[in-house]
Structure 1
């Protein structure tokens, strides 16, 4: 279904620093690709970890603070704020059920029954989700809106393929004001296997009415790149922006909600202000995204044009 072909026979082209690619559609990851990862998930993670530790203390248990950063794959500053994340870690690549299982397992290891630990994790989830709904801590990546406008101007159908659940992804896109750009939103709850398997990409192409070889994938983890390869996509573009440099003010609103009382402040200081067991990831982008066909720092390096067929 090549309805983007114009009367002069030209096709949409994705212009990258490493060449041009004739495409019929683009599939985007969400977190770290459309929205700044730390702006949303740093806020969520801080809120969840504070409440998780607080709930454990109410059961007479204490989670070792030195393990908090490695629990989800986050990088904390000296004040306990999440400033970066492991792009190959559970917060970046796992499903929400993966994250809940990790946290429930920790409660079980500390002495709770599995049922008690699951209930504790679910209470923390509800509190963190409610705070996110209230504060809506999302920001688009630099240059994203201009790039989406360029895609829309050329009539290129777009879809989102995310490890998040579909309903949550729909909310986040609406918070950003960009839901209208996308013809399909595919969450991990719609497929049997999530990233790095091809299922979401293939379903998105089916919904858009195109062949996988006609689509580009843009993402920020190697799971996105491997999904693109497994699905036979035309090109896999890695967004390799420095999240740590952009993250300083990211979670301020949600942190205020998490620590709005003296008790909350003390809990946050006690629980999180310990630094990280991981240093900010300074490895070359190529080593983080080895399966990308092309790496860019921002959308300013990408463009949309047309080539004659």
Structure 2
């Protein structure tokens, strides 16, 4: 019997499985430039890490006084992002190794993301992760995005798993908060390591303060096995 029997694993996508933030930044920069905001920087982008695309463009509309509707801004950014996502998304090597390791043990897995369903599908197909991660939930499919627990609870429902038996991997504070609200354990791998002291991460079962540089597939697997006992 697998050492991980009874556990289901739910992955956040952006910043956790894949380094998609550069693509989100570039899509956002292009979108805002097209709507008259030419000086959007990486530091500006960091304010929106872990927040859904719809929430991001809603904030932009208010902050920058944009004339376009939220729906128009959302469609524009998604179109630009998908063009980048299909061809230029990098999977973190140890995350790929972890997914493959879990697959060999038959661990049920899902992706629950603030990205659109189209973006999730494009990234998983473009990186080959769709061979392992067939259950996905987008924030567009639930009432509330992170830090509400909705995407994680829906992922558990689709896996047929009890929330208490699920472990979430997350890179952002809102996602860690969502995992806690869902009654799930969390492995936190902060994308912005300067935010490792955020109170939302303090409740994680395993906090890797060094982010992806500290994460290894074997160590994560062994932690899951120990925590199961």
Instruction: Kindly indicate whether residue 58 of structure 2 is the aligned counterpart of residue 101 of structure 1.
Output: yes
Distance apart, 1:183 and its partner CA: 3.7
Residue equivalent to 1:75:
43
Change in 2 beyond 3 A, CA 1:47/1:215: closer
Looking at CA atoms only, which structure, 1 or 2, has the larger radius of gyration? 1
> TM-score scaled to structure 2, two decimals?
0.81
Q: Which runs of 4+ in 1 moved over 6 A?
A: none
How many residue pairs were aligned?
Answer: 220
Once structures 1 and 2 are overlaid, which stretch shifts more, 94-103 or 298-307?
Answer: 298-307
Separation in 2, partners of 1:28, 1:181: 12
Corresponding residue to 1:33 among 2, 13, 16: 16
Residue equivalent to 1:188:
139
Residue equivalent to 2:150:
199
Contact 1:142–1:298 (CA<8 Å) still a contact in 2?
no
Residue equivalent to 1:175:
126
Change in 2 beyond 3 A, CA 1:293/1:190: same
Corresponding residue to 2:207 among 280, 295, 305: 295
Distance apart, 1:124 and its partner CA: 4.3
Distance apart, 1:194 and its partner CA: 1.2
Separation in 2, partners of 1:94, 1:181: 25
Separation in 1, partners of 2:70, 2:138: 23
> TM-score scaled to structure 1, two decimals?
0.62
Distance apart, 1:118 and its partner CA: 5.6
Whose RCO is larger (CA < 8 A, sep 6+)?
A: 1
Contact 1:12–1:306 (CA<8 Å) still a contact in 2?
yes
Change in 2 beyond 3 A, CA 1:165/1:11: same
Contact 2:115–2:139 (CA<8 Å) still a contact in 1?
yes
Distance apart, 1:50 and its partner CA: 3.9
Change in 2 beyond 3 A, CA 1:201/1:137: same
Instruction: Kindly indicate whether residue 102 of structure 2 is the aligned counterpart of residue 151 of structure 1.
Output: yes
Give the RMSD, CA atoms, in angstroms. Answer: 3.0
Change in 2 beyond 3 A, CA 1:48/1:200: closer
Higher helix content, 1 or 2: 2
Q: What are structure 1's unaligned runs of at least 5 residues? A: 1-5, 14-22, 57-62, 77-84, 244-280
Change in 2 beyond 3 A, CA 1:44/1:31: closer
Aligned partner of residue 18 in structure 2, secondary structure: coil
Separation in 2, partners of 1:119, 1:219: 27
Residue equivalent to 2:4:
12
Distance apart, 1:213 and its partner CA: 0.8
Once structures 1 and 2 are overlaid, which stretch shifts more, 197-206 or 297-306?
Answer: 297-306
Q: What are structure 2's unaligned runs of at least 5 residues? A: 209-213
